[in-house]
Amino acid sequence: MESNQTMEIEATPYSYESSQSEDIQIIAQRVRELRQGGKLTPDVLGNIRRYFRIKNTYHSNAIEGNVLTVGETRQVVEHGLTITGKPLKDQAEAKNLSEALDFLETLAGDPSVPILETDIRQLHYLVLKKIDDENAGMYRTIQVEISGSKYRPPAPESVAGQMQELGVWLAQASVAANKLGATEGLLVAAAAHTWLVYIHPFVDGNGRVARLLMNVILMRFGYPIAVITKEDRLRYYDALEISQTSDLSPFLALICESVHESLEEYEEAAKEQREKEEWAASLAARFAEPEKIRAQNQYEVWKNAMELLKSYFRQMVALLDEGASVGHVYFKDFGNLEFEKYLSLRGGDSAKKTWFFRVDFRSGDRAVRYLFFFGSPSYSLRAETDVTLHVAREEPAGSFRYERLDSIPLPNVPAMVEIGYKPKEEKFVAKTRNGARRTDKIEKIGGSFFEDVVSKHFQT
């Protein structure tokens, strides 16, 4: 297997795979066309700015454990209401992050003025004020650990020096006058975020400040903001863990995907000249209360079936990895699908890939990654199941970009491309590339997939 060429990000410790350059170029071209075409009127910009303010505030806080819903976040931010029964700290976080976004827009307003180290501290102050006033805007003086990560941040005595080094680079890299839609915007934004998280200069709030810093840089280069969603939390953490080795490839892939999604929102807003209603609000209006209860019960049955499926794949990976004389098999869990997203997909609404789990196979110089993600059922399965699992493969290997199996040219492609669940029969249904369907227990369907992968990739 030939590895991709590594591309260095100038004046930083970071690099990424050259295969990602095409996607970066495509995004940059879309930004230039959108910004230079006069498609965004002041009214449209105002509407979509309010939409992204709520979306970004909700997801950025939710990643850190905030329990407010999208609607509650809107009430706190736009109307200053206090939500009974919800933690006051969570409501203060929503207000603070909204105010930090005001400062962020100020920083983005004149791209000829450099972003300074003091601006990062000001962002942190706005994030933590009235929550932890003692540490708001202050570098940490204690050693910290990151929950669930093997990475140990620098000792407190080295934080100031490392932040000064970051600040010197940032002051130059953040100047984006006459660089509308430049590809370096994505690279600088990704590097700045990861560098700040690596230093971990604050006791709390590092992630929120890093995401703010990333987005102000994107805005300066004319890009829409990248909203890392709550659903992508585990993928986000996984990408950051890999970035500690200076490899930004998976993190950059996630940022590109997020910017792609934001661009679609901008383009839709420009086309329709009105604020795009949040999908959760439209769903709430569509479902009467009895239907919601029925859908919730169906969701619980479906979710239990999906957990059973995932458990089987996890066990198979463990058995294969233990029994393999050469090579290894790895399992990566990205969490289950939430009820609101299940409703959206069941209703046929458009949705981005929702990652469920990934299986990595490696033997010698051969490696392959298969990704299972949720989506609306294909036409042939629509009458049998509500929400299905689609199968994708990393193409090319090492690129962190995934293509659905039914769109990858033969040969060496497993037959199974989609899996659904039939609750009345308490069995799973699998669809193959040629449209054939097979209803069986997960042990039979899953076993066929593993046999297919091994025979197509690793048997000589």
**Residue 156 DSSP label:** G
pLDDT at 457: 83
Residue 391: pLDDT over 60: yes
Residue 41: pLDDT over 80: no
Residue found under tokens 């996984």: 238
Cα–Cα distance between 155 and 370 in angstroms, integer? 38
Nearest Cα to 104, choosing from 77, 124, 89, 132? Answer: 124
Cα–Cα distance between 378 and 347 in angstroms, integer? 13
**Residue 309 DSSP label:** H
Q: Per the structure block, which two tokens stand in for 198?
A: 């690596």
Burial of residue 62 (CB within 10 Å: 0-12, 13-18, 19+) is buried
Arithmetic mean of pLDDT over the chain = 89
pLDDT at 285: 58
Residue 290: pLDDT over 90: no
**Residue 87 DSSP label:** -
Alpha helices in 110-248 (DSSP H): 117-128, 159-173, 184-199, 206-220, 233-243
pLDDT at 131: 95
pLDDT at 284: 56
- Whether 30 contacts 270, CB under 8 Å: no
- Whether 310 contacts 357, CB under 8 Å: yes
pLDDT at 326: 59
- Whether 230 contacts 62, CB under 8 Å: yes
Residue 379: pLDDT over 90: no
pLDDT at 190: 97
Burial of residue 163 (CB within 10 Å: 0-12, 13-18, 19+) is buried
Residue 148: pLDDT over 90: no
In angstroms, the Cα distances linking 78 to 94, 99, 142, 260 are: 10, 11, 36, 27
pLDDT at 259: 94
pLDDT at 182: 94
Output 278 or 173, whichever has higher pLDDT: 173
Q: Per the structure block, which two tokens stand in for 109?
A: 């307003």
**Mean pLDDT in residue range 81-100:** 93
- Whether 190 contacts 214, CB under 8 Å: yes
- Whether 196 contacts 217, CB under 8 Å: no
pLDDT at 249: 95
Give the phi and the psi of residue 15 in degrees, each rounded to 5: -145, 170
β-sheet bridge partners, residue 403: 393
Q: Note the pLDDT tens digit of each residue in 223-273.
A: 999 999 999 999 999 999 999 889 999 999 999 999 999 988 887 776 665
Residue 280: pLDDT over 70: no
**Mean pLDDT in residue range 443-455:** 92
Nearest Cα to 185, choosing from 256, 116, 251, 106? Answer: 256
State the pTM of this model.
Answer: 0.72
200 noted as active-site residue: yes
Classify the phi-psi angles of 428: left when phi > 0, otherwise alpha if psi is within -120 to 50, otherwise beta: beta
pLDDT at 444: 93
The domains of the chain, with CATH numbers, are: 6-276 (1.10.3290.10), 287-457 (no CATH)
Q: Note the pLDDT tens digit of each residue in 122-134.
A: 999 999 999 999 9
Name the catalytic one among 59, 193, 200, 390: 200
**Residue 247 DSSP label:** B
pLDDT at 213: 97
pLDDT at 268: 77
pLDDT at 38: 59
Residue 74: pLDDT over 50: yes
Cα–Cα distance between 217 and 225 in angstroms, integer? 9
Residue 72: CA count within 13 A, CB half-sphere: 19
Q: How confident is the model at residue 380 (pLDDT cuts 50, 70, 90)?
A: confident
Q: Count of CB atoms within 10 A of residue 392's CB?
A: 22
Q: Count of CB atoms within 10 A of residue 158's CB?
A: 11
Q: Which helix (H) or strand (E) holds 297?
A: helix 289-323
Residue 80: pLDDT over 50: yes
Quote the Cα angle for 220-352-304, to 5°.
135
Residue 328: CA count within 13 A, CB half-sphere: 2
Between 9-23, 188-202, 393-407, the lowest mean confidence (pLDDT) is in 393-407
Alpha helices in 20-150 (DSSP H): 21-36, 42-63, 70-79, 88-109, 117-128
